[in-house]
Amino acid sequence: MAKATFTCSKCGASHSKWAGQCDSCMEWNTLVDQGPLSAGPGKTLGGKRGRTITLTDLATVEEPPARTMAGVAELDRVLGGGLVKASALLVGGDPGIGKSTLLLQAAARFARNGLKVIYISGEEATAQVRMRAQRLGLSESPVILAAETNLRDILTTLDAEKPDLVIIDSIQTMWADHIEAAPGSVSQVRSSAHELTSYAKRKGVAVIMVGHVTKDGQIAGPRVVEHMVDTVLYFEGERNHQFRLLRAVKNRFGPADEIGVFEMTGKGLVEVKNPSALFLSERGKTTAGSAVFAGIEGTRPVLCEFQALVAPSPHGQARRSVVGWDGQRLAMILAVLEARCGIPFTGLDVYLNVAGGMRVTEPAADLAVAAALISAREDAALPRDAVIFGEISLSGALRPVSQAENRLKEAQKLGFCQALAPAAKKLEDIAGITLRPIDDLAQFVEDLFGSR
């Protein structure tokens, strides 16, 4: 009798017996019984031999995968230049953030560009999808709709229709009748994703699957699903902001960490062609605690504003609140400022925010964060025409960052006249912008705010 296996719903690791904690990702209560491998309809491989597979060498010349442009520059950018034939994509995002709206608009665009598109909804009836299409002005688009959750029926219909693009909304609602588990379970999600990905590769059809996210912001279900597909996109944004970011965290056909910026309006999502100007559009007069950071998202330079507030704490324990940045990195910057520059934040509440709902992950924002914190603490405004970027080490030294020239060019386009950045030997001069090189954090504090 074959032994049962237990799979971690967080990282996908397999275990021979149940345990309270996964040995791979150290998460608790995530092991799920998958049943023996021989329990499926195909039984084990046994001694029967399979067919031979075709082998080729590296010298074989083949046509590159064909791409189809959506005609939306922000979406095509994130996809790496367009939709690739025979690819599988996974799109995740918070509930109500606009995933279905984005994909319905994308389906209409691709259909108008000559692709045969089928949109299958497992959460809404076709009448509800039509209602949304009418609100978005897409009711005349040649998109085929269906409302179904049975994976076997869906694949049978796709074999008969032979589409170019299939959108599954969502993968958690699909269920395979040969798996003895409820829809949305780890077994069903993994099996459905595998079947749809295999169908995409076998038939040369592009498949886009929508995935729900957990409280941690990760796509629900086993992490192995993300490894099955070619591209993983996250649709991000704050409910109280109209901006939405489509971020590629994995892309086999283009750069990862590329972003596309959209604005949510009454008629759907509208692409934003100049994100830097948008994120800085609400920047008012120069105030203490505001610093403009010149960042890089994928291959695109993006300027955003860091806002800091430092106030005496009425409680025994000072608060540290961060929105749009890593809280652990903020603690590191505060420690470096106190140890290397003699600027204490003990007994002070610190609040840090990235304006416009932007989320920044690169270490190059360290210097801009430090500048915003010191500016807020000393109630001294930074130069309005300056951008700041640079990575801070634990010794207080500043490290050069990548693509500094692109950051400076983007700042020059938006009217900034000076840049505060780590000293770099091979940094070209950009016309119209003055570079103020800085060696360490102590020098930066003394130059801008005087001796502390």
Is-contact 413 419, C-beta < 8 A?
A: no
1, with CB counted inside 10 A (0-12, 13-18, 19+), is exposed
Residues of 15-49 as b/e, b for ≥16 C-beta within 10 angstroms?
eeeeeeebeeeeeeebbbebeeeeeeeeeeeeeee
Q: Is 171 annotated as a binding residue?
A: no
The Cα 240–Cα 243 span in angstroms is 9
Is 257 annotated for ligand binding? no
Q: Does 429 belong to an annotated binding site?
A: no
d(CA 181, CA 197): 20
Write the DSSP string, 108-163: HHHHHTT--EEEEESSS-HHHHHHHHHHTT-TTS-EEEEE--BHHHHHHHHHHH--
Instruction: Find tokens 């970011």 and name the residue.
Output: 245
Q: Is 93 annotated as a binding residue?
A: yes
Residue type, 247: R
> Cα–Cα–Cα angle for 247, 249, 254, nearest 5°?
90
Nearest to 356 by CA among 305, 310, 407, 295: 305
On whether 250 is known to bind a ligand per the annotation, the reply is: no
> Annotated binding residue at 96?
yes
Report the candidate in 292, 272, 344 with the shortest Cα–Cα distance to residue 74. Answer: 272
CA 393/CA 363 separation, integer angstroms: 10
Q: How far apart are the C-alpha atoms of 233 and 226, rounded to whole Å? A: 10
Cα dist from 291 to 79, 152, 329, 418, 448, whole Å: 31, 55, 17, 13, 13
- Residues belonging to the binding site are 93-100
- Residues belonging to the binding site for ATP are 93-100
